[in-house]
Structure 1
Amino acid sequence: MSHAIKLHEITKSYDGFTAVERFSLEVARGTVFGLLGPNGAGKTTLIKILTTLMRPTLGDAFVEGHSVLTAGKEVRRLIGVVPQENNLDRYLTARENLTLHARLHGMRPASYNPRIDELLEMTGLASRGNDFPDTFSGGMQRRLVVARALVHEPRVLFLDEPTTGLDPQSRRALWDYIRGLRHKMTVFLTTHYMDEADALCDRIMIMDHGECLADGTAAQLKDAYSRAHTYQVEFKRDAERYEGVLAGLSFVKGVEREGAVFQITLADEESIKPLMDHLGGADIRRICLKEPSLEDVFIALTGERVRE
């Protein structure tokens, strides 16, 4: 079996509202998979189903071949979960939080004590093992939550928006740690940070309203949904005059301006020559094809409207 996660036509309905409908997915072992979508897209519903916190209305899901419907206990044994919130026990020290998790998974002291030492060292918390989580920064607490999820050496790790609220240094440190898990286990990641998905994920799926909109590597998604005829042009002077010139050109389909920098969308690739003929070259500081970002793809697929 090459797939660590498999969802087969999952449907979840709540009092007449369908959050996910006939959703299918397969995630290969040893990969970092990213699930992206706006609020209400169905991401949390799928994670709750996969981690046995919620039963689907129809369909079934499998983690390492075990059904979430009929083998929930085995699924829970195989997974680690990092939820959105830092749900550490504030009345236990960092080491005690990890020890409690290990004992809940039936581990013996001879197995879990060396494992806890290793994880505290790997997450940079070795000197704080006897301190309480309330004395930690947000980034340190987040690293401890990740360490807790890894104590029992899960085969599949679920990360639900793991870096929300972290400072850039803490985010980067957690990124490095997640990269180190690649190939050792399967990682299922949800995030609202497009740069995070771009940097970490071997494969990305964008979903909305419970359905898959796009699926592939970050590069494949950006190539498929890029605006291939959009250029950035910066003028040395006379930006106002050139704004009027651009507005009168039939092959210019869109213009966005920020100071002296224009983002110009053309009708086709042949339009670049007549554009340059109209603009000339003397007042142009630079011109370049606009490279798409994963955020551009996300907005193109899910729209610009703010979700509740």
Structure 2
Amino acid sequence: MPSAVTLSQITKSYGSFTAVDRFSLEVERGTVFGLLGPNGAGKTTLIKILTTLMRPSSGDATVEGFSVLSAGKEVRRRIGVVPQENNLDRYLTARENLILHGRLHGMKPAEYNPRIDELLEMTGLAGRQHDFPDTFSGGMQRRLVVARALVHEPRVLFLDEPTTGLDPQSRRALWEHIRRLRHTMTVFLTTHYMDEADALCDRIMIMDHGESLADGSAAQLKDAFSRAHTYEVDFRGDASGFREILEELPFVRSVEQEGATFRLTLSGEDALKPLIDSPVGRQIRKICLLEPSLEDVFIALTGEKVRE
């Protein structure tokens, strides 16, 4: 499958600070690609480079085969962008916002009007198309921003944290719209919501400090970290004093407790029998292997420290 997006040794520096360091990536056409990372990881810098809003310090990137350095106009013809902030024109109605976008892309009324009708129906905004965006909820505004980005039928859609600040219902509604785009275009998504990436993305890359840390499907990333051997253990009756005993066992790496339920990280699968044979083994009621979540993988790679 040909690549829709390619980054080749991209570096972006601001004086002595390097936001992105020799970053390379290829994204296949027709996939939903998720780029995850904490604040300051370099995600927005890469989005700005790929959408021709910023030039890299070195390296090059292509979108649908066109260089962001030498063919920026061709790149912009082929992309749609949903930025972090809603940037709708508040003095135009919902439909007029979409018409303006179509005209800016050189579309004629015979082209953009049927397309706009289709998008308004898809996003559930047909009944509000003659209202102003200021009268819309946050979720409705985000759906209108997505519709606007799709008017000219882009080959690649960039979504920069598209559901930030939305309530759960609005997030799920927007997810459904993104799912409908699967395989008809390439979607390049950045998000802080691990469940969003898990639900939507065919492929996920986790980055930090301008570098890639892990790359694969959600299942592959979680499987790679399943070697942690973390188990949830329920004990019968009073479990007071069990924590101290468990922490003394040489094959127990860490202990977390909530009432009579413990979360234990063991040295390996071969530690299960010694656990059962330990002084607290007879009080064990249930043992469950805990599969790591995408958030567990993210924290393991990027750390628990809060970023500014």
TM-score normalised by length of structure 2: 0.97
Aligned to 1:25: 25
Q: For 1:8, what is the secondary structure of its paired residue?
A: strand
Cα distance between partner residues in 2 of 1:131 and 1:106? 25
Task: State whether structure 2 residue 194 is matched by structure 1 residue 194.
Answer: yes
Alignment of 1:153-302 (within 5 A): 153-278=153-278, 279-281=280-282, 283-302=283-302
Separation (CA, whole Å) in 2 of partners of 1:236 and 1:144: 54
Could you tell me which residue of structure 2 aligns to residue 8 of structure 1? 8
Q: In structure 2, give the amino acid aligned to 1:47.
A: I
Alpha-carbon offset, residue 269 of structure 1: 1.2
Q: Name which of structure 1's ranges 165-174 and 259-268 shifts more when overlaid on structure 2.
A: 259-268
Report SS of the residue matched to 2:69. coil
Is the 2:276–2:284 contact (alpha carbons within 8 Å) kept by the matching residues of 1? no
Comparing 270-279 and 86-95, the one that deviates more: 270-279
**How far does the alpha carbon of each residue in 1:249-287 deviate from its partner, in whole angstroms, 9 at most, with x for none?**
121111011222211111221110111122334x43422
- Cα deviations across residues 36-63 of structure 1 (Å, max 9, x unaligned)? 0011110000000000000011011000
Report how many residues are paired. Answer: 307
- Farther off after superposition, 14-23 or 210-219: 14-23
Quote the sequence identity (%): 80
8 Å contact kept, 1:88–1:97: yes
Q: 1:237: Cα distance to partner?
A: 1.7
- Residue identity matched to 1:266: L
Q: Tell me by how many angstroms 1:227 deviates.
A: 4.2
The structural deviation recorded for 1:244 is 2.7
Amino acid aligned to 1:7:
L
1:63 aligned to 2:69? Answer: no
Contact preservation (8 Å) 1:226, 1:297: no
State the TM-score, normalized to the length of structure 1: 0.97
| Secondary structure at 1:239 match in 2 | coil
| Alignment map for 1:93-108 (pairs within 5 Å) | 93-108=93-108
For the residues of structure 2 that align with 1:139 and 1:227, how far apart are their CA atoms?
39
Matched, 1:137 2:153: no
Return the alpha-carbon distance in structure 2 between the equivalents of residues 198 and 110 of structure 1. 39
DSSP 3-state at the match of 1:139: helix
Cα distance in 2 between the residues matched to 1:188 and 1:72: 18
Identify unmatched segments of 5+ residues in structure 1: none
Q: Is the 8 A contact 1:227 1:292 kept in 2?
A: no
CA distance in 2, matches of 1:24, 1:49: 13
C-alpha distance in 2 between matches for 1:280 and 1:272: 10
Match of 1:10, as an amino acid? I
The one-letter code of the counterpart of 2:65 is G
C-alpha distance in 2 between matches for 1:288 and 1:31: 34
Q: Quote the Cα distance in structure 1 between the aligned partners of 2:19 and 2:99.
A: 37
2:207 aligned counterpart, secondary structure = strand
Asked whether the 8 Å contact 1:163–1:174 carries over to 2, the reply is: yes
- Paired with 2:260 and 2:150, the residues of 1 have a C-alpha distance of 51
Per-residue CA distance 1:54-99 (angstroms, 9 max, x = gap): 0011011000000001100010000000000011011100000000
- State the shift of 1:241 in Å: 2.7
Which range is displaced more, 254-263 or 4-13?
Answer: 254-263
Which range moved further: 156-165 or 269-278?
269-278
Q: Give the deviation of 1:240 after TM superposition.
A: 1.1
Separation of aligned partners in 2, 1:292 and 1:2: 32
Counterpart CA distance in 2 for 1:251 and 1:294 is 26
Q: Which segments of 5 or more consecutive residues in structure 2 lack a partner in the other structure?
A: none
Give, in whole Å, the separation in 2 of the partners of 1:243 and 1:259: 11
Is residue 235–residue 284 contact of structure 1 (8 Å, CA) maintained in 2? yes
| Runs of 4 or more consecutive aligned structure 1 residues displaced over 4 Å after TM superposition | none
For 2:128, the equivalent position in structure 1 comes to 128
Deviation at 1:16, TM superposition (A): 1.9
Q: Distance in 1 between matches of 2:32 and 2:258?
A: 37
2:281 is aligned with what amino acid?
G
- Distance in 1 between the 2:73 and 2:183 partners? 25
